[in-house]
């Protein structure tokens, strides 16, 4: 995989809560220069202007997922109205840990219905889950109409993406959904390992450093 091919899989991300409008402008300029798929910013940064060909992603129920479904849905709808092409929502981990996957599915479905026309990714926080919970989250995401499952917010103390989780998620969704690896991917080798494990999108904040390890 060359630099251009990997860049096309990247959501170039800035989700630090203290980020300013000038920080976001720098992110957009760098993302355009690097040829990434999208820039991913917090909802309070929207709307933003981006060059043609660069998608806009945002987060929902971030970073805990511990929000009522109607709050997540309203947040997602507002973000799409303000120009977001993609919404990365955090799953309700309380419901996951209680094994209530019907309610997990309903939570995702509420956001899916609220952001019609946008791509929906479901962040399952894989490092905090058992393999069985990862599989069940992926199944609930698919049943609710999500487009992607995503490993991590990058903010959970349990950690970020792992090759094991990505491979398990990819096996579970079987190509019917995309798989986004995010959280702690800081080197070229780590990024390529996630793609080899089955990731079809990468969430990176240090994108340039990752891409610099590859030929044009």
Give the catalytic positions in this structure: 88, 150, 180
Rounded CA separation 155/74 (Å) = 23
Instruction: Report whether 104 contacts 96 (CB < 8 A).
Output: yes
Number of separate helices (H) and strands (E) present in the chain: 9, 8
Rounded CA separation 56/32 (Å) = 12
* 33 half-sphere exposure, CB direction, 13 A CA radius: 10
Bond into 173 cis (ω within 30): no
Dihedrals φ, ψ of 126, to 5°? -60, -30
Beta bridge partners of 148: 121, 178
């Amino acid at each position: 995989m060359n630099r251009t091919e990997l860049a096309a899989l990247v959501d170039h991300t800035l989700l630090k809560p203290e980020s300013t409008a000038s920080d976001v402008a720098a992110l957009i300029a760098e993302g355009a220069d690097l040829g990434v798929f999208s820039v991913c910013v917090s909802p309070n940064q929207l709307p933003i202007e981006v060059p043609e060909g660069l998608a806009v992603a945002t987060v929902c129920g971030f970073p805990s997922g511990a929000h009522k479904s109607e709050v997540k849905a309203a947040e997602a709808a507002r973000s799409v109205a303000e120009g977001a092409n993609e919404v990365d929502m955090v799953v309700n981990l309380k419901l996951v840990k209680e094994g209530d996957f019907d309610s997990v599915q309903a939570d995702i479905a509420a956001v899916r219905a609220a952001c019609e026309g946008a791509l929906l990714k479901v962040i399952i926080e894989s490092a905090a889950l058992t393999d069985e919970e990862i599989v069940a989250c992926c199944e609930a995401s698919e049943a609710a109409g999500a487009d992607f499952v995503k490993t991590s917010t990058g903010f959970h103390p349990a950690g970020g993406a792992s090759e094991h989780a990505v491979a398990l998620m990819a096996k579970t969704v079987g190509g019917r959904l995309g798989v986004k690896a995010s959280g702690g991917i800081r080197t070229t080798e780590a990024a390529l390992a996630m793609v080899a494990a089955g990731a079809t999108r990468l969430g990176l904040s240090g994108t340039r450093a990752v891409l610099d390890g590859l030929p044009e």
